[in-house]
Amino acid sequence: MEKSEKMSVADQPCYTLINIPSDAEPPSEMQLRQDLEKGDIKTKTEALKRTILMILNGEKMPSLLMTIIRFVMPVQDHTLKKMLLIFWEIVPKYTQDGKMLHEMILVCDAYRKDLQHPNEFIRGSTLRFLCKLKEPELIEPLLPAIRQCLEHRHSYVRRNAVLAIYTIYRNHDFLIPDAPELIAKFLEGEQDMSCKRNAFMMLIHADQERALNYLSSCIDQVTSFGDILQLVIVELIYKVCHANPSERARFIRCIYNLLNSSSPAVRYEAAGTLVTLSSAPTAIKAAASCYIELIIKESDNNVKLIVLDRLIALKEVPSHEKVLQELVMDILRVLSAPDLEVRKKVLNLALDLVTSRTIEEMVLVLKKEVVKTNNIEHEDTGKYRQLLVRILHQCSIKFPDIASTIIPVLIEFLGDQNELASADVLVFIREAIQRFDSLRDLIIDKLLEVFPSIKAMKIHRAAMWILGEYCDTAEEIQNVMTMIRQSLGEIPIVDDEMKKAAGEVDDDEMQSGTTVQKLVTADGTYATQSAFSSVAPSKKEEKPPMRQFLMDGDFFVGAALSTTMTKLALRYVDLIKDPKKQNAFFAESMLIMATMIHLGKSGLPAKPITDDDVDRIATCLRVLSEHAPMMDQIFNVDCRQSLSLMLAAKMEEEKEQQKASERKVVKVQADDPISFSQLINKNELGATENMFELTLSQALGMTSKKEVDPLGSSKLNKVTQLTGFSDPVYAEAYVHVNQFDIVLDVLVVNQTSDTLQNLTLELATLGDLKLVEKPQPLTMAPHDFCNIKANVKVASTENGIIFGNIVYDISGAASDRNCVVLNDMHIDIMDYIVPASCTDTEFRTMWSEFEWENKVAVNTNISDLLEFLQHIIKCTNMKCLTPEKALSGDCGFMAANLHAKSIFGEDVLANFSVEKPKHLSVDAPVQGHIRIRAKSQGMALSMGDKINLSQKKYAKILN
């Protein structure tokens, strides 16, 4: 059993990784030995390089060790010496049974010589290597030499000596118990900045008391220190104040001074620490201003984004938020940065912070930004404009008073080519006009003003809808009607078009084809051709927008127009009691509708009208001709109601979100214990953990996962039997899945009464798995058992299979090697899937981008739709993006979107389309499809398999 305690390569600290494509034949050990022994320096260097690479790839070459000690170590060549240090770093230093190799004693003497080497660089790099050496037996004899290096003339040697002493003290403090004292003394006499920094850093970690003493002795000169030293000073202050909050008062002054350091890095760090030192408004303000300054001054986007994150984190604390609110205008200065993502963050932050006092100023700035975007053409300008519109929209919801100043600016956008921003403007206007009655007139006036300049079809349609819905007075209705007429041109359209076609010979061709075609199909001379091309554009411009849309075949806009006109007509009838006028209005509307249907069927437009649109227009015609009160009700009241319902639902949702985010804010409960800083002992500080150490341990993956069940009933679930009970060698494996690797703990039992020699576990993998090291062969006594550990590296999320066999020789028997084939082990991808969420638009873009789709037919025995969905969500670790509201209720079918991410950052999407036909019985199973999309094939396939499997599994349990 002891053997299994031995650390495997994967667990050992690793400082060097070199991935060399292994196309070349690896040199034989013999060849290497010869080169190392007899070659000149160049050959030796090359051979040593090969050896190192082979060891890095998991080979162990015990026989080369002595050769290297004898023939390479004495060589004085600098490169070779340094390369040797890397060799010593990675070479296995222990025998199979965990004892140190005897040869290492010889090596140790070489280290000592190098520590006294006249070349300061060799001394330095040897000292640096010692930082990585962990064996106390090897370090002990070197200590006098290391101490001497502390007084070497060259700062390079000294600074590395400090680090060596630091790591030795950290790993084995008994070896050098006076290290803190030694370093403290060293620090007092030291002049070189690097040495000072390293010494100070060592004290911070080893003996804070001394570090503090040193700091207080020079606290007034801190501002004159170099940046790297200032940085560790800030770190010290952070640490000290963390462990011992009562010390805070001592350092505020110092930190404030550092806040004005010449190095931006120091300023950034100091600001972060100042916030932890004090939560007084002045301190927060100083820190926040420092952050803002950094964001504005630093040109790098990375810095901007990360520092912004810090500002946002600052905002999360309710007491700090007030302070930040005063700085909104400063934050908005960051908008000068060109990166969209930065601007987005800034705007969102500003929106959160804006108050009724600052809103007006903010709107002014935003307006200016909007105007600016008109001049600059950049790929992101459109998106930026859209962003600005959204922010303005949200501002006006938060502060309804300012809506009247915003709207005129925004409406100007509608004429813009850019659909993104315009669509958002319309959404905004729709909400504004519904909510604020007072703004109605203003909006409608403005809208009518801009309407003719609108060029995009979608915008046109939506704007028309707003006009149709909210024009209340007869005059307005008349205006709209005139505008519609204008935008349609001469009525009836078909006749008009025919006339035009007749007027100009080739007009038909021209309209149906593009300019390029014209050139090809024209049968005239070159002169006529040029005449056409010059006529064509002017002709197109002349055509009113609505007519153009219709001619292009977009009859949907026609349907919308019909609805609008119906609404207007019905309202007009209510307002104007003169039957003559009523009829005239009706007639006009109906004429327009009729002519649109006519045009649609005439074959003149690029595409004929669709049946849906015909239906829609026909319905409108019928409504107008019959003029039933019920239709009146539907068109003029119920429509608006459903809009207000939708807006209300949206508001509700937003409020909910807000509440949810508010809930996150920690509030002091009435019965919370009050903590007195003087009474807190060190262990109780857990509430705010040391950020530096926390992140470091996180990064190193040392935060252990919580073992839910220490006895491991769940652990036992993961045991896979590999061979049969009657096989000569029984094996079973416990598959432990870590984040990026899989550890197989294989129990091997010799069931025979023979001694098995050279028993080897041979493993191979399928999928994106890689074996890190080969398990070593071993010998087993009769009926003995032992554990073998094997590490498998995982590189992406795919179902992986590990298979292999166990081979062995029976001692004494002359037969060939025996072999037992192992059962396959399947690695479940669910261990790598975590739920993730994204917005609807993100989902859609991903959905259209992803290349691999796996369509899984539903085959289950669950009869309830929601239950089925929940079951799949549970099995697949995915997150349902469709809000619960949309899923509730029973209508016989269901659609939902799911999203998850692998720990490698791969997205996987799923779309549920399931139904339960009404005509089937209550117990009938759910039917339908689940479509899975992912960027990689493996992911889509594996996920599909998983869903297939879990459907069936469920069935098995039920039966």
Partner 1 sequence: MVLLAAAVCNKAGKAIISRQFVEMNRSRIEGLLAAFPKLMNTGKQHTFVETESVRYVYQPLEKLYMLLITTKASNILEDLETLRLFARVIPEYCRNLEESDIVDQSFPLIFAFDEIIALGYRENVNLAQIRTLTEMDSLEEKIYIEKKQTQEKEARDKMREKAKELQKLRRDAAKGGRMPGYGGSGGGFGNNTYSRNENVIIDTTSTEPVKSSYVPPSKTTGKALKLGSKKKDVDIFVGQLESEGEKVTKSGSQPTSVLSKISVPTSDQESVHVVVEEKITMVAGRDGGLQNLEVHGILKLKINDDKNAKVKLVVANNDTKGVQIQTHPNIDKKVFAATGHVGLKTPDKPFPLNTEIGVLKWRFQSNDESLIPLYVNPWPNESGTGCDVNIEYELRQPELELNDVLITIPLPSGVGAPVVGDYDGEYHYDNRKNFLQWTLPVIDQTNPSGSMEFSIAGQAEDFYPVTVSFLSRKSYCDIEVTEVLDVDSEHPVKYSSDVIFFPEKYEIV
Give 637's DSSP letter.
I
Is residue 344 at the binding interface for partner 1, with CB under 8 A as the rule?
no
The minimum distance between CB 801 and partner 1, in angstroms, equals: 19
Is residue 333 at the binding interface for partner 1, with CB under 8 A as the rule?
no
d(CA 638, CA 651): 20
| Residues binding partner 1: number (CB under 8 A) | 123
Binders of partner 1 among 725-754, rule CB under 8 A?
738-741
Contact 152, 185 (CB under 8 A): no
Binders of partner 1 among 485-514, rule CB under 8 A?
none
Q: Which of 717, 719, 746 is nearest to 820 (CA)?
A: 746
Nearer to partner 1 by Cβ, of 116 and 528: the residue is 116
Q: Strands 729-737 and 741-750: what pairing?
A: antiparallel
Q: Where are the beta strands (DSSP E) in 622-717?
A: none
d(CA 495, CA 501): 10
The minimum distance between CB 386 and partner 1, in angstroms, equals: 18
Only segment of 216-224, 456-464, 747-755, 843-851 that touches partner 1 (CB under 8 A)? 216-224
Q: Cis link prior to 537 (omega < 30° from 0)?
A: no
Contact 180, 203 (CB under 8 A): yes
Q: Which of 91, 103, 93 is nearest to 51 (CA)?
A: 91
329: which residues sit within 8 A by CB, 6+ positions away?
A: 358, 361, 362, 365
Is residue 339 at the binding interface for partner 1, with CB under 8 A as the rule?
yes
- Assign 3-class secondary structure to 99-164: CECCHHHHHHHHHHHHHCCCCHHHHHHHHHHHCCCCCHHHHHHHHHHHHHHCCCCCHHHHHHHHHH
The minimum distance between CB 120 and partner 1, in angstroms, equals: 5
Nearer to partner 1 by Cβ, of 119 and 757: the residue is 119
**Residue choice 14, 105, 313, 886 for contact with partner 1 (CB under 8 A):** 14
**Residue choice 4, 12, 633, 837 for contact with partner 1 (CB under 8 A):** 12
Strand, coil or helix: 915:
strand
> What is the C-alpha radius of gyration for the chain, rounded to an integer number of angstroms?
39
Is residue 700 at the binding interface for partner 1, with CB under 8 A as the rule?
yes
Nearer to partner 1 by Cβ, of 306 and 895: the residue is 306
Is residue 147 at the binding interface for partner 1, with CB under 8 A as the rule?
no
The minimum distance between CB 76 and partner 1, in angstroms, equals: 5
**Residue choice 213, 517, 530, 625 for contact with partner 1 (CB under 8 A):** 213
The minimum distance between CB 282 and partner 1, in angstroms, equals: 4
Give 97's DSSP letter.
T
Nearer to partner 1 by Cβ, of 451 and 734: the residue is 734
**Residue choice 906, 908, 914, 933 for contact with partner 1 (CB under 8 A):** 906
Binders of partner 1 among 156-175, rule CB under 8 A?
156, 159-160, 163, 166-167
Contact map string, positions 774 to 813, toward partner 1, x by CB under 8 A: -----------------x-xxxx-----------------
Nearer to partner 1 by Cβ, of 4 and 16: the residue is 16
Binders of partner 1 among 879-898, rule CB under 8 A?
none
The minimum distance between CB 650 and partner 1, in angstroms, equals: 30
**Residue choice 175, 618, 772, 810 for contact with partner 1 (CB under 8 A):** 772
The minimum distance between CB 621 and partner 1, in angstroms, equals: 50
Q: How many CB atoms lie within 10 A of CB 777?
A: 14
Binders of partner 1 among 261-300, rule CB under 8 A?
261-262, 264-265, 268-269, 278, 280-283, 286, 294, 298, 300
The minimum distance between CB 213 and partner 1, in angstroms, equals: 5
d(CA 618, CA 301): 56
Binders of partner 1 among 173-212, rule CB under 8 A?
189, 191-194, 197-198, 201
Nearer to partner 1 by Cβ, of 188 and 615: the residue is 188
Contact 831, 743 (CB under 8 A): no
Phi-psi region of 553 (alpha: psi -120 to 50; beta: other; left: phi over 0): left
Only segment of 15-23, 522-530, 587-595, 849-857 that touches partner 1 (CB under 8 A)? 15-23
One-letter amino acid of 788: I
Strand, coil or helix: 930:
strand
One-letter amino acid of 783: H
Is residue 301 at the binding interface for partner 1, with CB under 8 A as the rule?
yes
Phi-psi region of 712 (alpha: psi -120 to 50; beta: other; left: phi over 0): left
The minimum distance between CB 203 and partner 1, in angstroms, equals: 13
Binders of partner 1 among 104-133, rule CB under 8 A?
117-122, 124-125, 128, 131
Binders of partner 1 among 509-568, rule CB under 8 A?
none
**Residue choice 28, 224, 683, 888 for contact with partner 1 (CB under 8 A):** 224
Is residue 51 at the binding interface for partner 1, with CB under 8 A as the rule?
no
Strand, coil or helix: 286:
helix
Contact 725, 755 (CB under 8 A): no
Only segment of 155-163, 424-432, 461-469, 590-598 that touches partner 1 (CB under 8 A)? 155-163
Q: What is the separation of C-alpha 7 from the centre of its chain, rounded to a whole number of angstroms?
A: 35
One-letter amino acid of 288: A
d(CA 761, CA 775): 6
Q: What is the separation of C-alpha 457 from the centre of its chain, rounded to a whole number of angstroms?
A: 35
Q: What is the separation of C-alpha 272 from the centre of its chain, rounded to a whole number of angstroms?
A: 24
d(CA 864, CA 922): 9
Is residue 243 at the binding interface for partner 1, with CB under 8 A as the rule?
no
One DSSP character per residue, 158-189 reads: HHHHHHHHHHHHHH-TTTSTTHHHHHHHHHHH
Crossing angle of helices 474-488 and 457-470, in 10° steps, is: 160
Is residue 694 at the binding interface for partner 1, with CB under 8 A as the rule?
yes
Contact 227, 196 (CB under 8 A): no
Is residue 250 at the binding interface for partner 1, with CB under 8 A as the rule?
yes
**Residue choice 260, 521, 661, 721 for contact with partner 1 (CB under 8 A):** 260
d(CA 277, CA 238): 8
Q: What is the separation of C-alpha 765 from the centre of its chain, rounded to a whole number of angstroms?
A: 30
**Residue choice 146, 199, 232, 290 for contact with partner 1 (CB under 8 A):** 232
The minimum distance between CB 216 and partner 1, in angstroms, equals: 4
Is residue 216 at the binding interface for partner 1, with CB under 8 A as the rule?
yes
Containing 766, the helix (H) or strand (E) segment is: strand 756-766
The minimum distance between CB 737 and partner 1, in angstroms, equals: 12
Binders of partner 1 among 54-83, rule CB under 8 A?
74-79, 82-83
The minimum distance between CB 418 and partner 1, in angstroms, equals: 20
**Residue choice 47, 65, 68, 86 for contact with partner 1 (CB under 8 A):** 86
The minimum distance between CB 254 and partner 1, in angstroms, equals: 6
Contact map string, positions 846 to 885, toward partner 1, x by CB under 8 A: ----------------------------------------
Nearer to partner 1 by Cβ, of 216 and 625: the residue is 216
Contact 439, 432 (CB under 8 A): yes
The minimum distance between CB 53 and partner 1, in angstroms, equals: 9
Is residue 704 at the binding interface for partner 1, with CB under 8 A as the rule?
no
Long-range contacts, 638-642 (Cβ 8 Å, 24+): 639/469, 639/567, 640/434, 640/469
327: which residues sit within 8 A by CB, 6+ positions away?
A: 285, 288, 289, 292, 353
**Residue choice 692, 811, 886, 895 for contact with partner 1 (CB under 8 A):** 692
Is residue 381 at the binding interface for partner 1, with CB under 8 A as the rule?
no
